[in-house]
Structure 1
Amino acid sequence: MIQQLRKTALLLKILLLLMAIGSSNSCYAQNKTLSNLLEIAGKVTDSRTGEPIANASISLDFKKSGFISDTLGVFKLYLPNGEYVVKVSAIGYKPFRTRVVLTKNVQLNIELDEISKTLEEVIVSSQATRKDIQTPSLGVTLLNIKGIKKLPAMMGEIDIIRSIQTLPGVSSVGEGSNGVNIRGGNVDQNLIYIDDMPIFNPTHLFGLFSVFASDAIRELELYKGGIPARFGGRSAAVLDIKVTEPSTEKFKLSGGIGLVSNRAMAEIPIVKEKLSVLVAGRVSFNDFLFKWLAPDNMKGTKANFYDFASKVFYRPNKNNTITLSAYLSEDYYQVDSLFSLENVIASKTQFDYGHQNASIHWSHYFGPKLSMEIVGVTSLYKTRTYAPDSVNNIDLRNQVFYNNLKAQWDYLPDDKQKINFGISGIRYDIQPGSLNKDVKSRIAAVEIPREQGMEFGIFVDDEYKFNNKLTIQAGLRYAHYLALGAGTVNTYLTTEPKSLNTIVSTRTYSSGEVMKSYGGFEPRLTMKYSIDEKNTLKLGYNRMQQFFQLISNNTTPLPTARWKLADEFVKPQFSDFYTIGGFHSFKDDIWELSAEGYYRNAQHILDYVSGANLQLNKNLETQIISGKGKAYGLELMLTKRRGEVNGWLSYTYARSLQQMLGDFPSVQQISNGDWFPSNYDKPHNFNMLVNIQPSKHHSFSFTFAYQTGRPVSSPVGLFQIDNQRYPVYIARNNSRISDYHRLDFSWTITNPSLKEKRWEGSWTFTVYNIYARQNAYSVFFKPVAYGVRPYELSVFGAPFVSLTYNFKFL
């Protein structure tokens, strides 16, 4: 009986199996003989080798159909006429999709790309993954310019500064703001280099776009923590940008045509494998937009900019390389609105500002263990604010002149150790402000004395791998700063706050004489402990000093804001930065989960007294007070680096607080001496990036950002004079504007049909702020009958649609 039941059960299983097979194919197998069916035949091969791919999965209309290719990569389907979406996929390959309109028999020859060959065009490159897991680097992100170009951009302008704001720990005070705030730091606390040339204002048009010609950029590395000892002079973060080395093999041309600007880049070989030149530029012509689209009171507005990058690459032999780099940028902006300076109101104001930078690099290879690099840099950043008037002309100028000479060596004693050491010297020469120096005007000329200084540094970094689990990178930098004459220094009463009425005496210094000196050690340490190949823990500590800072009483500093060197009264900022992080990779390193926590303690940060006059004040120390700051946060990030769909999710909890007591807390303190939020304190930040590339011809990107509204100072009452009511402010940053959120979209269509002729073109369609969120940029208050009414100002309250054509000639 039992044996009979077993036979019956076996027969039932076989019958059910045959029914399942028959049902899954019956509509095709049974109807194969019917006259109304058409054939889709195909062959699946490897795009690189041409070898057939067996057992590739074929599905119809996004449903699992159960079809596979045979050992020769061949498959055949029999279907009624109609429209179908055919998807072909195989393990280790990028899926292929196509739409088939079946009116006759169709032959498909399908080539699949290996996932390993697919460009990892998320911003964070695969090299960053290896750094996160395998090296002691902490808080360091390598950004891929190919990925940045795929992100949705406002008005189609590829923007490095906006792109890094999608990373955890990086934000700005709002739309159109100048620069970025990184882990609780102000915009001037970030060191921004392009081929070792400093950038003092990284934005065009008062923060709308970044100043970097994206075609000329090879990669950029962002240091939020774990900053190597070779970097100094800033107290928060470093953005190190590298210009592409021009090809020495063949001529290349690329560029783009867009709504805001047009750009082009050429790589020109001069001597094969020895000498080549790169030239890249971007120029905007925006005046017509204001004439066509702006309201009547803005039709006279002009807003244009350009940036230019050039690089000469010369390799005389295998041991020596010399490069010459140049970077220029310029902004011109005219607005027909009221501008006030020195109690004069102008109806038309022009702004003109930009960089003129150059650098030379000589790299020498001594052997497999030792190499050397010598760098020379010169940089000029200048601004001009001009208000033409028949009698009350305003011509305000300032500039920063910077020269740097640095030598560094890389020494590799063995496979376990890497040593980098060197020296540097920087010369600063600042013109803080010059009003109407060579202009006829009823407004008296004013010139603030020049400031000069020297900063010297010596540094060493030693990375040592003890074993497969533990690696330590220890660094030490000593920085010494000299404030130089000519100049004068006031002596003030020690019993009262500094003012013109408390000056006791004045001392004059001659040209080149040392007026004040500061110095100190800056230890750096990062440790990596690998639990296993997929899990890593890291610890880090940095101390950094800053002798050069920006003084502004605006939430986002204007390009004309005043730069200030450390002196008798302005002490250098310094910060101690502690970080801890954990990293986990899984599924063949395609996915990574990371968590980083940090705490930053800053000293000698500056703020302004109420009603401060900063621009043309010869005694700036009477307008500012010194205090301290602290910042702390937790950054969580989940990244998918490869595949048809890639991107990341990140969440950051971050606080940035300040306490301002001054030398006389009873009369100088801000917010009663309590800790108060900085202008860029945004506790909650969420970012999402999704890239989708269903085929070679199409790719889609979405970005979403959410941030807590930034702090603002809100009045607590009113006072009245001559029947006029004015708001009363007691606390600094005691309220917040509305929370910020925005969704962007881009669609890139690539047409490689002319690839055989070395030409490749693409169109990028972008929608910025899809659902028209009216994010507040600032708040102003007006007295009303019942008190004070707040009004929020939105800069970009509508979707911005743009179309850009990009091309390459290779």
Structure 2
Amino acid sequence: MNTNYLVSIFFFFTICLTTSAQTARIRGVILNKNNQPVENVNISCLNVTTRSNSTGFYDLKIPANQKATIIFTHISLKKITISLILSTNEQREFNPVMSDREEQMGEVIVFANTRKLIQGVTTIEPELIRKIPGANAGIENILKSLPGVNSNNELSTQYAVRGGNYDENLVYVNEIEIYRPFLIRSGQQEGLSFTNTDLVQNVDFSAGGFQAKFGDKLSSVLDITYRKPIKFGASLEASFLGGSVAVDAVSKDKKWSAITGIRYRNNSLLVNSQETQTNFTPSFADIQTNINYQSSAKWQWSFLGNISQNKYQYQPLARQTNFGTIDSPMVLTVFYEGQERDNYETYFGAIKTTFNVNDSFTVKFIGSIFQTLEQEYFDIFAQYRLGEVDASIGSQTYGEVSYTKGIGSQLNHARNDLDALIVNTEVKGFHDWKESQLEWGIKYTRESIRDRVIEWEVIDSAGFSVNPPILNFVNNDQPYSPYVGPLIPYQNVRATNFNTIDRFSGYGQWSLKSLIGSSEVWYNAGIRAHNWEIQGASTTAKSQTTLSPRFQFAIKPNWNSDMLFRFSGGLYHQPPFYRELRDAAGIVQPNTKAQQSMHFVVSNDFSFKMWTRPFKLVSELYYKSLTDVNTYTIDNVRLRYAANNSATAFAQGIDLRLNGEFVPGTESWVSFGYLKTEENSNGKGFIARPTDQRLKFALLFQDYMPNIPSIKLYLNLVYNTGLPGGSPSYADPYLYQNRLNDYRRADVGFSKVFIDNTSGEIKNKLFKNFKELALGLEIFNLFNNQNAITNTWVRDVYSKNQFAIPNYMTTRVFNIKLTAKL
């Protein structure tokens, strides 16, 4: 393997790079008049030639600092000829639209993917998403390798961005907002991400300072576009963790097209590697389709639908956790009885239509319905023993429990049911006005939620029922005088909530490209408004309204070095969703305010060449000031809010990412992030927030054997410093500021490619219809690191101390994966 490239990554940050290459690069996606990708377009400049692939994508090197003429030709479409001048190492994006009626020719001013440049958007190639290994492979798996994006739970698709939590991230598919189930409390219950990577054409991600056209969340935007098929195709993936099938279909007249994917996943392979012995039979499956109809040259329709079912049946048997230090080792042994049966069913449908009124005005209508039916039922009885381990080398009882500090039992019970229906209607407009662009949108949302919460926990220690510490005992002189008060569960949550929320939101924004001297500049300014009102059987709140102005500025100086500078910011609001309205007692607090965050982001993109290959270094410095903060606790992936807006907070940090061809023909990157986020609740002072990650390092690397290029290597490595470890129930978090151990994980995949559609003619007639066929071996958690997600708190009956016992995640796991494309 080309391991010398790995070493070069670290030298980059300590040396100054110079280059004398005299080439530039143009790339993009070629579309037809129906906005569909065009395959097998011949693109040439002088003696350099390439072809567009099945998604319409092309990439071509051209001479720099001189007029270059580029010709696009296709067997059934008219030729396009453009001329342009690019500077050394400059990369530009040009997305031509080829017609069957008229030939296009002339000098064209090509703008470098201006929208994504000024937004600070990270674009991720779908092929990279499908190849990089991970216990929960997919788009979220790649996001976790980006700076500023953190997660210490390989069983979960949820992620935190720059100090925010899991509920602060926007996700769009084809401009349609996506929702998740409400009750899921554990990563191993999640099953499948909504996004089916087999259907994806484009993935854009913004970690902050995003434009007004994106919705009302505080942290990030994930904007996904599904592809429109241009001919029949199919793909298949199968592994020990499940499988998927996707089919592309196109009608004879090309007006109808559809792409459909079916997925199934079973996490038993991963869960069985954890320290808790279980009988575990999960079942996660979904079907998703995207149907497109071109009714005329100006009018397009599409339908996006998804049905998913997550069945989670869990029967724990036993657990042993070794923790403590070398000098004072301890062990927690637990034996279980009972089981958990959960069921999460979601149904989603959306219709989108686009009408091109004229060349400078486009209007879109989007309507969607989302329903989730969720059930959490469990009764789990645990008997535990907490003891000190004999660490005396040579002792006859070495490694055994020498002294028992706590014996007890715990009974957890839940009967939780939720039924939520969310309906959206939205109109959006796009105008080209003189040298600028105007965008606007109006949206109405109605959320109807019916929720019943019944949860209680009883703790018994050495034969005595433990009352919650919040009780005030009068004349408590036990054991001399017996306790005669009522026995109360250690935790007891009971609530029934029937609520509806009506929301009206809208935005308007303006964009302009101009010049300051010889430097190119981009401006963007906009504002969002959001009004909502909550009603229920016993709760009615007054209407609340927020206004969120946002702006972006980018400048590309006319320097020899290819650099771009960006500054973005604004006021961001997050009106409370249902989960944020419900407090720790399960009761909806209708007057909960929107959390507010002021963003400031300064960034720089530096494109250059190293080893004669293209690279880019992206640096971002950010600061967030938050008010009306709704504090919360995290238990695995379950968030419980205080719903009282009692805190202020801040988040600050720096993100660095270097990406490029460390190995010729492949994209890799290395990321580094520093984050500090703290909150001040009720004026008590600043303490670390639950997502205070501090340091993050990630490496995503692709390689191949030089003499056998069909054998490929994919490496996904993440290191995060430890998160705050939380606190026991009813405890003051200001008294518990310990942290979990650092999160270290490396997933590696080896793949043997038998058929590659880019390798030329297929000699074996048996596989003549295959575009791709590969067999891979994946090793998750390569170095078998013990990573903890949360702490279990156990009380010593004698000293009444609370011990934080880490809940460890998965160990080393092997997986075999087969992929094929037709």
Give me the TM-score of the superposition, normalised by structure 2. Answer: 0.68
Aligned to 1:200: 180
Structure 2 CA distance for partners of 1:580 and 1:277, relative to 1, 3 Å? same
**Matched residue SS, 2:295:** strand
Q: Distance in 1 between matches of 2:366 and 2:444?
A: 11
1:480 aligns to 2:531 (yes or no): yes
CA contact (8 A) 1:562 1:615 kept: no
Change (3 A) 1:294 1:266: same
What is the CA-CA distance between 1:241 and the residue it aligns to? Answer: 2.1
Q: Distance in 1 between matches of 2:639 and 2:147?
A: 34
Contact 1:315 1:322 in 2 (8 A): yes
In 1: Cα distance, 2:501 partner to 2:121 partner? 31
Q: Does 1:369 align with 2:348?
A: no
Map of 2:631 onto structure 1:
607
Contact 2:691 2:724 in 1 (8 A): yes
Aligned partner of 1:711 in structure 2 is 724
Q: Look up the equivalent residue of 2:595 and give its one-letter code.
A: Q
Q: Residue type matched to 1:140 in 2? A: V
Residue 162 of structure 2 is matched in structure 1 by 183
User: Pick from 107, 110, 123: which aligns with 1:142?
Assistant: 123
CA distance in structure 1 between the partners assigned to 2:710 and 2:308 by the alignment: 34
SS of residue paired to 1:280: strand
CA distance in 2, matches of 1:714, 1:562: 17
Deviation at 1:645, TM superposition (A): 4.8
Aligned residue in 2 for 1:419 = 438
Q: What is residue 646 of structure 1 aligned with on the other side?
A: 667
Aligned in 2, Cα 1:733/1:402: closer, same or farther, shift over 3 Å? farther
Matched, 1:471 2:522: yes
Equivalent positions of 1:211-250 (< 5 A) are 211-247=194-230, 250=231
Structure 2: how far apart are the matches of 1:678 and 1:383? Answer: 29
2:777 equivalent to 1:777: no
Tell whether the 8 Å contact from 2:493 to 2:586 is kept in structure 1 after alignment.
no
1:582–1:383 distance in 2 versus 1, CA, 3 Å:
same
Q: Which amino acid aligns with 2:702?
A: N
- Is 1:585 aligned with 2:636? no
SS of corresponding position for 1:656: strand
Q: Distance in 1 between matches of 2:737 and 2:155?
A: 23
What is the CA-CA distance between 1:138 and the residue it aligns to? Answer: 3.7
Alignment map for 1:313-328 (pairs within 5 Å): 313-328=292-307
| Amino acid aligned to 1:687 | A
Superposed CA offset, 1:484-515 (max 9, x none): x34334xxxxxxxxxxxxxxxxxxx6xxxxx3
CA distance in 1, matches of 2:674, 2:237: 38
Matched, 1:174 2:153: yes
Label 1:115 to 1:650 Cα distance change in 2 as closer, same or farther (>3 A): farther
Confirm or deny that 1:153 pairs with 2:153.
no
TM-score scaled by structure 1? 0.69
The yes-or-no answer on 1:567 pairing with 2:590 is yes
Instruction: List gaps (5 residues or longer) in structure 1.
Output: 1-61, 63-89, 94-111, 340-344, 437-443, 490-508, 510-514, 666-672, 716-725
Whether 1:805 aligns to 2:808 is no
Residue 748 of structure 1 aligns with which residue? 751
Q: Measure, in 2, the Cα distance between the counterparts of 1:259 and 1:161.
A: 20
CA 1:747–1:92 in structure 2 vs 1: closer, same or farther (change >3 Å)?
farther
The separation in 2 between residues aligned to 1:634 and 1:627, in whole angstroms, is 24
- Contact 1:257-1:263 at 8 Å conserved across structures: yes
* Residue equivalent to 1:4: none
Q: Residue type matched to 1:273 in 2?
A: K
Q: Contact 1:432 / 1:564 at 8 angstroms: preserved in 2?
A: no
- 3-state SS of paired residue (1:146): helix
Q: Which amino acid aligns with 2:531?
A: H
User: Retained in 2: the 8 A contact 1:197–1:359?
Assistant: no
In the TM superposition, what are the counterparts of 1:353-432 in structure 2 within 5 Å? 353-387=344-378, 395-414=415-434, 416-432=435-451
- The answer as to 2:720 corresponding to 1:692 is no
The residue type paired with residue 631 of structure 2 is D
C-alpha contact 1:609 1:625 (8 A) present in aligned 2: no
Distance 1:116 1:757, change over 3 A: closer
Name the counterpart of 2:258: 277
Deviation string, structure 1 residues 457-489 (Cα, Å, up to 9, x no partner): 221121111214221111111222222x34334
Distance 1:615 1:747 in 2: 37
User: How far apart are the structure 1 equivalents of 2:204 and 2:731?
Assistant: 45
**CA-atom RMSD, angstroms?**
4.1
> Which structure: greater helix fraction?
1
Deviation at 1:260, TM superposition (A): 1.0
Q: Distance in 1 between matches of 2:58 and 2:499?
A: 47
Q: Structure 2: any 5+ residue segments left out of the alignment?
A: 5-20, 25-46, 60-90, 96-110, 319-335, 381-411, 456-491, 756-761
The question of whether the paired residues in 2 share the 8 Å contact of 1:400 and 1:428 is answered with yes
Find the aligned partners of 2:209 and 2:770 in 1 and give their Cα distance.
Answer: 42
**Larger-Rg structure:** 1
The residue identity in structure 1 corresponding to 2:547 is F
Q: Could you tell me how far 1:607 is from its partner in structure 2? A: 2.8
Offset of residue 303 of structure 1: 1.1
SS in 1 for 2:630: strand
Match of 2:399 in 1: none
Matched, 1:448 2:489: no
| 3-state SS, counterpart of residue 712 of structure 1 | coil
- Distance in 2 separating the partners of 1:255 and 1:562: 46
Q: Which residue of 1 aligns with 2:506?
A: 458
Q: Which amino acid aligns with 1:350?
A: R
Task: Report the residue type matching 1:298 in the other structure.
Answer: T
**Aligned with 2:310 (options 331, 338, 357):** 331
Q: In the alignment, which residue of structure 2 is the partner of 1:722? A: none
- Whether the 8 Å contact between 2:776 and 2:816 is mirrored in structure 1 is yes
2:647 and 2:498 mapped to 1: Cα distance?
26
1:563, CA displacement in angstroms? 9.5
Amino acid across the alignment from 1:531? P
Task: Sort the Cα spacing of 1:610 and 1:646 in 2 relative to 1 into closer, same or farther, 3 A.
Answer: closer
Deviation at 1:92, TM superposition (A): 9.5
The whole-number CA distance in structure 1 between the counterparts of 2:725 and 2:139 is 27
Distance 1:201 1:656 in 2: 27
CA distance in 2 between counterparts of 1:516 and 1:234 reads: 21
Matches within 5 A, 1:646-685: 646-661=667-682, 673-685=684-696
Contact 1:638 1:649 (C-alpha < 8 Å) held by counterparts: yes
Give the Å deviation of 1:209.
Answer: 5.6
The number of residues matched between the two structures is: 621
Contact 2:553/2:566 (8 A) holds in 1: yes
Distance change (3 Å), C-alpha of 1:246 and 1:571:
same
Q: Is the 8 A contact 1:131 1:137 kept in 2?
A: no
Q: How has the CA–CA distance of structure 1 residues 265 and 91 changed in structure 2, closer, same or farther, with 3 Å as cutoff?
A: farther
- Contact kept in structure 1, 2:134 and 2:716, CA below 8 Å: no
In the alignment, residue 222 of structure 2 is paired with which amino acid? L
Q: Contact between 1:190 and 1:238, CA under 8 Å: does it hold in 2?
A: yes
> Are positions 1:265 and 2:246 aligned together?
yes
Please give the alpha-carbon distance, in whole angstroms, between the structure 2 residues aligned to 1:601 and 1:457.
23
Which AA in structure 1 matches 2:672? Y
Checking the alignment, whether the CA contact within 8 Å between 1:561 and 1:615 is kept in structure 2 is no
Shift of 1:178: 5.9
Distance 1:132 1:338, change over 3 A: farther
Change (3 A) 1:201 1:295: same
